[in-house]
Structure 1
Amino acid sequence: MDYEQRINMKFCFKLHKSAKETHEMLKLVYGDAAVTMKTVYKWFERFRNGCESIKDEERSGRPSTSKTQANVERVSEMMRSNRRLTIREISEDLNISYGSVQSILTTDLNMRRASANFVPHVLTVEQKQQRLSISLELRDRAASDSSFLRHVITGGETWVCGYGPETKVQISQWKSLSSPHAKKRRQSRCNIKVMLIVFFDLGGIVRAEFVSRNTTVNSEYYKGLLERLRNDVRRKRPEKWANGFILHHDSDPCHTSLLVRQFLSNENITVCPHPPYSRDLAPCDFWLFPKVKMTVKGKCFESIQDMEAATTAQLETLTKEDFQNCFRKWQERWDKCIQSEGEYFEGD
């Protein structure tokens, strides 16, 4: 607004208005935001001396003695050797001011301090190559065969707890500057929990079941689960039963056991490849389970039956469009994995 008023002052000066008249007109237009009378006189004096610019005059300032090219190189070398150094540590080591070090880092070296991203696993070169090659294979397969994803049924398992702590976003609330911060007692996860196993495709949930207590999900249980899934496919997805479906699950030991592989081979069920330590490439883990759990976070269930009922109700709210969006995100994640050359890409 100050720049706008300078334009108006110059306009009034060209019309041979006095400084007083100009100030009164500025007050009439801008009210309390109008510049002072002293400021108007100062600019009128500059215009009378032949100045046409309405920008502030450049100030030479005091020359910097710390921000030299030599210091920039020294800071850069220290950053290459240890990126965890603080500005104060660099300042004390090089005997230059805190502000100069900060300016060198942010302006000259274009660096920003950021916390490290937590990842599920430190991937080896071989594991990165597996993630890359499988993502390339799936992307090319989907590109060459438009019906590929329509045949896929993906699944996974997760624990549903009787109480899940709320996220920071969920416990945040609006407050005025004078009101105190809201307080909430820290609570840990409840010991009451049940395992949920879900299989779904582009059309929605094909099978969802809770594992009864004191039951271990081993190769024998998983084989029985796949038999139940096969019957559900015949009943709910007759087109997949007629044309065959592709099963996608992670590389859990019970999923890749000899018993399960023999069953899949005998039933002519094709398995979609999945790289190890890659929950970010499993639709259940990156979309379905977080979405279901988010709605029950902060709620305390007194029994397993209540937990199961709430979780089932949330699964039923998901629409066909939601599942189609999930499969689109899955394809996008293949591309991101390829771009990152097999590295974890979330948080970048």
Structure 2
Amino acid sequence: MDNEFNQYYIKIRTILGIDPKTIHEELVTALGPNASSYTTVTRWAKRFREGREEINDDPRFGRPVSELTDENIELVRQVISNDPHSTYDEIIAETSLSHGTMERIIHDCLKIKKVTSRWAPHELTDEQKQQRVQLCRENLTKFQTGSWRLCDIITGNEMWIYHRQIHHKSKNASWVGDGESPITVVHRSKFESKNLFSIFFKSNGPVLTHCVDEGKTIDHNYYIENCLKLVVKEILKQRRSADTKGIKLLHDNARPHIHSGVINYLTEEDINIMPYPLYSPDLVPCDYWLNDCIKHNLTDQLNEKSLARAVSKVVKNIPQEEYKKTFDKLLEKIELCINNHGDYFEHLIK
């Protein structure tokens, strides 16, 4: 069956008031792989609704469809080089090549594909990259020589969690019938209810899940009294001993964390601080794993109390094996940071 037949069928069905989706399904049922694509059906149905009578394709100008010449290959290369975000339609408009020829040039000749742009937390300077490499090498050496153990690392950080959850687009997808509208998901406003949590964990599970009091901010005193002291208490309980010898704390460089009062308190408790480079959320398990894990498993909550209970439950229900895997990945990430010369490395993770 040729295009003329497809377009004639689309015209008749459109005149009868049949929607493009149904027309495309009928063509697929009758013609299988020879049916016009849904995009083509939609385009022709629109033309016929607007009063078009002709069913033949419009005459094409420019280069023949089959022209896989060096000139055309270089032309496509230049268009993509000038604008790496170019769409297929924009490349076709620039080159006057057919869609099929353009696709063959891109995939078969240039052997390139379009991928989502890589987002980075910060534009690292050379000095910051060097610091990342230096600290990662020092930390990795201590693990490799056995002077540090993953089971002695406690990591923690703060995170804001909203009462209303908005998940990734794939999770928000829903089945709808003919004529039904998809569920609407409203973007959050900056005034929506949320609470700040401080969460600490080890390779064998959670240590502390603390919901910061409403209206409070975490300064160094709050951090010591309401977070670190409870962490130390839980460590002693889990160890069933009277000391914290060998324990290392991995947290970021937020101001309360690096305050002299916090450093002095940790020193008194015989807890060492694991060196952490600036702008490195990719090297802290809370940032590269736990935040998303919690938010992915949360449901909407009515108030602060129910949110605190829900977050605590999610953290406790994460299998111990997942905590262990996360700390094993920490070593992998440290090595990736070194191998990538201190630059961000998420795009290298398979």
TM-score for the superposition, normalised by structure 2 = 0.71
Q: Is the 8 A contact 1:135 1:338 kept in 2?
A: yes
Aligned residue runs from structure 1 range 143-162, under 5 A: 143-145=144-146, 148-162=149-163
Aligned residue runs from structure 1 range 1-348, under 5 A: 66-94=67-95, 96-145=97-146, 148-174=149-175, 178=178, 180-188=180-188, 191-224=192-225, 225-238=227-240, 241=243, 243-297=245-299, 299=300, 301-347=301-347
CA distance in 2, matches of 1:68, 1:123: 42
Structure 2 residues without counterparts, runs of 5 or longer: 1-63
Distance verdict in 2 for CA 1:89–1:307, change over 3 Å: closer
Give the superposition deviation at 1:92: 4.5
CA distance in 2, matches of 1:170, 1:335: 33
Of the two, which has the highest radius of gyration? 1
Give the superposition deviation at 1:304: 0.8
CA distance in 1, matches of 2:201, 2:96: 62
Query: Identity of counterpart residues, as a percentage?
Result: 27
Give the superposition deviation at 1:116: 1.3
When the two chains are superposed, the root-mean-square deviation of aligned CA atoms in Å is 2.9
CA distance in 1, matches of 2:283, 2:69: 48
Q: Is the 8 A contact 2:157 2:286 kept in 1?
A: yes
CA distance in 2, matches of 1:229, 1:304: 22
Give the superposition deviation at 1:181: 5.0
Deviations 1:298-332 (A, max 9, x none): x2x22211111111122221233222122112222
Deviations 1:40-93 (A, max 9, x none): xxxxxxxxxxxxxxxxxxxxxxx9774222332343344334323444444454
Q: Is the 8 A contact 1:66 1:97 kept in 2?
A: no
Q: Is the 8 A contact 2:130 2:341 kept in 1?
A: yes
CA distance in 2, matches of 1:171, 1:88: 29
Give the superposition deviation at 1:185: 4.2
CA distance in 2, matches of 1:72, 1:304: 60
SS at the partner of 1:114? coil
Q: Is the 8 A contact 1:223 1:260 kept in 2?
A: yes
Distance verdict in 2 for CA 1:198–1:237, change over 3 Å: farther
Distance verdict in 2 for CA 1:78–1:125, change over 3 Å: farther
CA distance in 2, matches of 1:122, 1:322: 31
Give the superposition deviation at 1:288: 1.9
Q: 2:184 is matched by which residue type in structure 1?
A: K
Give the superposition deviation at 1:143: 1.9
Give the superposition deviation at 1:293: 1.9
CA distance in 1, matches of 2:347, 2:165: 23
CA distance in 1, matches of 2:120, 2:181: 32
Distance verdict in 2 for CA 1:240–1:77, change over 3 Å: farther
TM-score for the superposition, normalised by structure 1 = 0.71
Q: Is the 8 A contact 2:245 2:271 kept in 1?
A: no
CA distance in 2, matches of 1:334, 1:240: 32
Q: 2:250 is matched by which residue type in structure 1?
A: H
Distance verdict in 2 for CA 1:262–1:113, change over 3 Å: same
Q: Is the 8 A contact 1:196 1:210 kept in 2?
A: yes
Q: Is the 8 A contact 2:153 2:202 kept in 1?
A: yes
